Chains A and B, each alone.
Chain A
């Protein structure tokens, strides 16, 4: 048996309610689209198009001037099997991911926790700890290079006063990355402020209840503070990893200064990663290959790999977050 549904014709001269609703919906969609247009255009022009272009260039020999020529997987083969610096740059970048991100998160959390306990002068201390984050990275790195100068720097003078011979810091492959780590920790104001807000947001009654139940400070931190601020920790972790995968400015300034070539364009290229390649991060090598050696296609391949790794890292952290982020299941 078939059933035929017929719509009742609308009286002449009056639009049907369904048509009216459709027109309203269309207007609403157009309005939404119009309001979103700037964002959509920006996203397309500054993200989607460059992304597609980069993927395309990664399969070409491209020098920015002449038309790109398709070379298949040659750029990727060179990266994995022939480039003498690619794996060193990967190792250096991983070092920053492994040490810098946890160090910044841990110190920021510790300082934020202390700031929540301060009864007097809290505003002053918040300002003091946040201020370094406002320093431009180039200026901050120059300041650190002066502080850690092996011959004239304050740090080694202080160590000498204590009877300790200071290392060569930025000029020593063993110490160059730890100095940059110190620089990163010094400028942790950006995540500190987020942690501070999150900590102040933890309901005080939970601590009161825990105290009544006999929980000590560590237990309160472990079972109340950490679970409550876990989404913020996850955010800081993801942002930190992405920042470290793109670590460039501080490394290039530090290596140029340490090599004594900071003001010379030609020398700058020659000494990226100084000393002994210890500060040659992945983005630095990508820049060197793209803009100094004119391998734009190869640099594009490196950028694609970086994008894939950053996405994979983020996806992994987000998936794993269910295990430790408070309320993550509910959010899904």
Chain B
């Protein structure tokens, strides 16, 4: 009996060590030496739902009609967690689409998404067609496992009516203007804020350190991939500005206002209800406003910059949707054909951009006469092309450094951090320890 128990445990231990996804040794087949006509079925997972999913479906139909031998099975509403687990189990989709460039480091390093270089080289795809910043966030350590399908850029949305009521006709260009305008626009009832000019709390919708960083030129990681937050003076400048702005408006009042905000991706969003006059957000908000609050009179502009960094005005945060071929994809050739179509075909990109109100990522699509561009959308096109626009760096462990920092900022904003320098040094230590945990032994 004892021997049986020992044997059983040994077998189970062996199973535990061998029956893991990583234990599989099968390599994906190399692409065909010459371009082949795609054929067969392709599974395509994406995260969009409702209106946005319909826009994707429409372009996929175009792809099918242009490639008669290919059928695409589109599965909407799939997030990165599901995709990763499916890939790990060998059941991943042929093509995956993610909203988060944070996964690129991990997917490229681990091979969850295949290296696209052999396909790109074989088909002589000119990656210079993509904007440099877009190229940067779709590869990691020289491995290109992703292609960009439209970009998200972040700028300032302002409510023209609320600004006009306070006597302003143009959006702020500097932080001091933003503060002055905010104080004048903000309406209170007793101590409560009824209408906010701007909410500087870092958990207010898209008001995050990453999205504000380009205005200061702040960098999360240094060239060695270590946390740069206590070393880069730009972060200290940003946080000091934020804190004095919060104190001027009153943290309790702001916190209470923030607690009552409407859900971000619904008609209850504060900006849709004239509850906030200025906020940072992505270009996708244009479509949400059109669909959910068509009567709001608004304009867009680059986010204001520090008074001593006016050369940065016009820059902003850039990220975007990315696509890749799963490890173990059953039909990689047709998958690559679909990715090429959705990320490089000008007609497809323009149609997607018009439908999703995201910014195209190729020069040709940006210059296309079919691209529907008004003044508000042009702001985001300009931000994408600004030389000082930035994205956040990829790591094999996603956005762990951003999350760690963001959690700490909540304490900083509420006044629980007495020493900013010491606090930032501790953040660096915490981030570096986490990044170290993800390195090979």
Contact = CB atoms under 8 A, between A and B. Distances in A.
B433 A82 contact: yes
A269 B79 contact: no
Given A291-B81, A294-B396, A263 B437 contact: no
Interface in A137-185: 149-152, 168-172
Nearest to B398: A293
B111 A85 contact: no
Contacts of A171: 255, 258-259
Interface string B229-263: 00000000000000000000000000110111111
A275 B255 CA distance: 11
B404 A270 contact: no
A258 interface: yes
Contacts of B17: 56, 68
A66 to B, nearest CB: 5
Given A65-B112, A276-B411, A151 B264 contact: no
Interface in A270-327: 270-271, 273-277, 288, 291-295, 298
Interface stretch (A47-55, A119-127, A128-136): A47-55
Interface in A43-71: 44, 48-49, 52-53, 55-57, 61-71
Interface in B393-441: 396-400, 402-404, 406-407, 410-411, 414, 426, 430, 433-434, 437-441
Contacts, number: 161
Q: Which of B81, B205, B262, B327 has the most CB of A within 10 A?
A: B81
B441 A74 contact: yes
Contacts of A64: 21-22, 84-85, 88
A153 B214 CA distance: 38
Contacts of B88: 64-65
Contacts of A234: none
A34 interface: no
A65 B327 contact: yes
Nearest to B257: A151
A275 B407 CA distance: 9
Contacts of A292: 81, 398-399, 403
Contacts of A273: 407
A66 B403 CA distance: 24
Interface of B: 9, 12-13, 15-17, 19-23, 47, 79-81, 84-85, 87-88, 99-100, 102, 106, 110-112, 203, 205, 208, 255-256, 258-266, 327, 396-400, 402-404, 406-407, 410-411, 414, 426, 430, 433-434, 437-441
19 contacts: A44-B12, A53-B16, A62-B20, A62-B22, A63-B22, A64-B88, A65-B22, A65-B87, A150-B260, A151-B260, A171-B259, A262-B263, A263-B265, A266-B100, A266-B102, A270-B208, A292-B399, A292-B403, A293-B398
Interface of A: 44, 48-49, 52-53, 55-57, 61-72, 74-75, 78, 82-85, 149-152, 168-172, 257-267, 269-271, 273-277, 288, 291-295, 298
